[in-house]
Amino acid sequence: MRARTVAKHEIPERPPIRLDVGEPVIVGDRDTDWPEFVFVTTSAGSGWVPARNLSSDHGAALVEVAYDTTELAVAAGEGVAVVERDDASGWWWCRNSDRAEGWIPSRVFEET
């Protein structure tokens, strides 16, 4: 599916992390803007992950579904290929014309 952005999305300054099944994490706060997400810390770094991907939504937990926190920056009016829609969290995994991939919030899109 193709989609066009109606607003820009900027990526966070912290580096993305990739979590593998069985990896231990420490779960911190739940996001107030995106309540499906919790902040996790691993030996490789930290980032926001859907709570449903973890064995617990607080304290020590294990990753039950692999996850990559990479986000993709886009400008308003940019077209992208939607690779995966995660409607439960409100984020879509997309690929831009340079073949870079990452998560973009669905609220910045209109479907084309």
The confidence score (pLDDT) of residue 110 equals 82
Spatial distance between the Cα atoms of 112 and 96, rounded to a whole number of angstroms: 15
Q: β-strands 91-95, 101-105: how paired?
A: antiparallel
Percent of the chain's residues with pLDDT above 70: 98
Q: What is the mean pLDDT of the chain?
A: 95
Q: What is 2-12+77-111's CATH topology?
A: SH3 type barrels. (2.30.30)
What ranges do the domains of the chain cover? 2-12+77-111, 18-68
Q: Give the N- to C-terminal CA distance of the chain in Å, as an integer.
A: 8
One of 2.40.480, 2.30.29, 2.30.30, 2.40.160 is the CATH number of 18-68, namely 2.30.30
Predicted confidence (pLDDT) at residue 58 exceeds the cutoff of 70: yes
Output the six-digit token pair for 93: 């995994």
CB atoms within 10 A of CB 72: 18
Do 2-12+77-111 and 18-68 agree at the fold level?
yes
pLDDT in tens, 7-56: 999 999 989 999 999 999 999 999 999 999 999 999 989 999 999 999 99
| Amino acid (one-letter) located at 95 | R
Spatial distance between the Cα atoms of 27 and 42, rounded to a whole number of angstroms: 9
Average pLDDT over residues 51-65: 97
The confidence score (pLDDT) of residue 93 equals 98
